Structure 1
Amino acid sequence: MNRTTLNRRQWITASGAIAAAIGTPQMATAAEPISSRTSPHFKLSLAAYSYRRLLQGDKPQLTLADFIDDCAKMQLDGTELTSYYFPPNVTTDQLLELKRQAFLLGLSISGTAVGNDFGHPAGKEREQQIADVKRWIDNAAVLTAPVIRIFAGHAKKGVPADQSHRLMVEGMQEVCDYAGKLGVFLALENHGGPTATADGLLKLVKDVDSPWFGVNLDTGNFHSDDIYAELEQVAPYALNVQVKVVVSGPDKKKVPTDFARIAKILRDANYRGFAVLEYEENEDPRVECPKYVEILREALA
């Protein structure tokens, strides 16, 4: 049977039968909940975005090496090295030095993140967006970062909704095909626009045909009347989880995150992976992040 002649459902069925016959695990697809998870397991990490004011600007106060050191001091399992804080033309040697540092400190590089927009129609801007994501897939492979959180993008003026959806799906499909060849997962974040709701996010996820694709569940990026219900809806698809310290509904009023409820949602979904603290508030992150790491650690214990 030629795989290229199979549609998505036929391939899932066929591969499952083959896996059962030879006694090997079946590879899950992104379009379905990750059913192979039978019990929860949590690892803790911190997103470099939490230190953004310290890592960016003409004269940054800290380097990514300093951030990694802080993650180790917090007794974390991982460190998320957000792409925004690397040199524009980061070299392989620079990536390997950070990988070496993290390993010697007992840290996994839990993932990285890119800023992208696949809502652009055909042209140079779209080509650049896709090229930038592929470049960071290459970098993630060097770092041995298992997952990159990506965005769908935003609809452009004059582009019909169905065409905008198709552009985003096609962009994600292309980069997922590339990422799979290097063993890197891509995780679509709920980040406004078409991913502002659980239904909108999952509509995109289910239209991308790749076993290397899933969701980056950001606990602070749904703003409906029932935020936790939406998080619960998406949690079974999560490859990575970003935990914010506040949530806000339609009125945008910030209230403290219910960490115990987040933990229950993740346990009920049998989530296994990193829970990454992402601190976005205005206080000093070097003071506040250790406090919230301990709150998160206790909730997930």
Structure 2
Amino acid sequence: MSSATPRRDFLKQSAWLSLAAFGLSARAAESAPAGKVSRLRTSLNAYSFYVELNLGLKEPNNPKGMNLHQLLNFAAEAGFDAIDLTGYFFASYPKAPTDAEIFAIKHEAFRLGLEISGSGVKNEVTTADKALRAEGKQRIKDWVDVCVKLGAPVLRVFADTNIPPQKWQAVSGGAARDVVEGWIADDFRECAEYAAARGIFIGVQNHGDFLTTGAEHVSLLKRVNHPNCRAIVDTGKYLTEDPYVDIALAAPYAVNWQVKETPFGKPNKPLTDMRKIVKIAREAGYNGYLPIESLPMGRKNYDTPGELKRMLKELKAAIAE
């Protein structure tokens, strides 16, 4: 069997099923009718507050800023089950935080009744610069170790360039797509092997550059061909006419998600249909977290807390049906 087979087949064979974060026992997963048994939980992606968190890092005494402890309190008060602690908002980033910093956040989350659903880093895998790719690969490994200490099961990584405004075609030096996919697959396979030895998953997020469709997402995962390298399904970054088709295509490979305000990645577009997202996740046999992320997208006076609470209410209602 290819180790990039859809999630339902993968879950039947994975010893990691015993972790509560992914719900079902192997026996339950095998006996449950498709789409009938699914344990879904809500999570808040820290990046929703990137403006406030970045300000808090630069100006700790600015009342408009926010730190990770304040973020945890918001998530708990709003009623989220978990928090996705994006690595960028630790003061030490891109270096790993100290154990004292990690455990302070971990203990605060526990005190508030919040699970930690994942973390994430920035990395470069589409560039022709081998040294830059190696740097990103090492950062992934370093933050896998952070995830172990946090108790976060998934580290989110990118298959898209993070050197704006350039695209993968430019940073790769004009290399063919198949060649670049090979670079990415080799790096992620190595990282997945490292993560597997520590009980962590590498989650590859689509972000609208190298990965713009569900088919491209799945193609990369199949080329990585490692059970600990799965999909982070970003519902707002499949750049197609009907993103729900792409979401459904990638969902069987998901280890985590990013549920966005709109599937079209731009303001003033139709809002995400939470019932449809939950239906797709369940039909794919997904058990685990559905983290929410909402961004200002250039809108003045954007009410991030209010929008997150609206999205959470709709997602909870869809899960409860």
TM bucket normalised to smaller? 0.7 to 0.9
Q: How far off is 1:162 after superposition?
A: 2.2
Letter in 2 for 1:41: R
Measure the CA separation in 2 of the matches of 1:28 and 1:244.
31
In structure 2, the residue matched to 1:215 is 231
SS at match of 1:216: strand
CA distance in 2, matches of 1:191, 1:123: 22
Query: What is the aligned partner in structure 1 of residue 70 from structure 2?
Result: 66
Compute the TM-score of the two structures, normalised by the length of structure 2.
0.80
Match of 1:166 among 171, 182, 185: 182
Q: How many residues align?
A: 277
Cα RMSD (Å): 2.5
Q: Structure 1 length as normaliser, TM-score?
A: 0.85
Structure 2 regions of 5+ residues with no counterpart?
Answer: 17-23, 162-167
Q: 1:299 to 1:55 in 2, by over 3 A?
A: same
- Say if 1:152 and 1:172, in contact at 8 Å, map to a contact too: no
Equivalent runs, 1:246-285 vs 2, <5 Å:
246-248=262-264, 254-281=269-296, 282=299, 283-285=302-304
Q: 1:47 aligns with which of 36, 45, 48?
A: 45
Quote the residue 1:120 is aligned against: 127
The alpha-carbon deviation at position 122 of structure 1 amounts to 5.6
8 Å contact from structure 1 (residues 186, 214) kept in 2: yes
8 A contact 1:28–1:211 mirrored in 2: no
Paired residue for 1:192, among 208, 212, 225? 208
Rounded Cα–Cα distance in structure 2 between residues aligned with 1:214 and 1:82: 18
Q: Check the 8 A contact 1:72/1:105 in 2, yes or no.
A: yes
Whole-Å separation in 2 of the counterparts to 1:203 and 1:122: 23
**What's the CA shift string for 1:172-222, capped at 9, x where partnerless?**
111111111111101111112231111111010001132211110111111
The CA deviation at 1:50 is 0.5
CA–CA distance in structure 2, aligned partners of residues 72 and 203 of structure 1: 37
Return the alpha-carbon distance in structure 2 between the equivalents of residues 214 and 232 of structure 1.
Answer: 15
The equivalent of 2:149 in structure 1 is: 142
State the percentage of identical aligned residues: 30
Q: Distance in 1 between matches of 2:292 and 2:199?
A: 24
Deviation at 1:157, TM superposition (A): 2.0
1:68, distance to aligned residue in structure 2 (A): 0.5
- Give the drift of 1:28: 7.9
What is the distance in 2 between the residues matched to 1:161 and 1:211? 23
Q: Does the alignment pair 1:290 with 2:309?
A: yes
Where do residues 17-56 of structure 1 align in structure 2 (5 Å cutoff)? Answer: 26-27=13-14, 36=29, 38=32, 39-56=37-54
Is structure 2 residue 75 aligned with structure 1 residue 75? no
Contact in 1 for aligned 2:260/2:294 (Cα 8 Å):
yes
Residue deviations 1:133-186 (CA, integer Å, cap 9, x gap): 111111111101000111113431232222211101111111111111111101
Distance 2:290 2:245 in 1: 19
Partners of 2:152 and 2:207 in 1: CA distance = 21
Alignment check: 8 A CA contact 1:44 1:275 kept: yes
Show the counterpart of 1:153. Answer: 160
2-structure distance, mates of 1:257, 1:138: 34
Report the Cα offset of residue 284 of structure 1.
2.5
Cross-structure match for 1:299 = 318
Whether the aligned pair in 2 keeps the contact of 1:173 and 1:208 (CA below 8 Å) is yes
Check conservation: 1:71, 1:79, Cα contact below 8 A.
Answer: yes
Question: Contact 2:218–2:250 (CA<8 Å) still a contact in 1?
Answer: yes
Residues 87-102 of structure 1 correspond to what in structure 2 (within 5 A)?
87-88=91-92, 89=95, 90-102=97-109
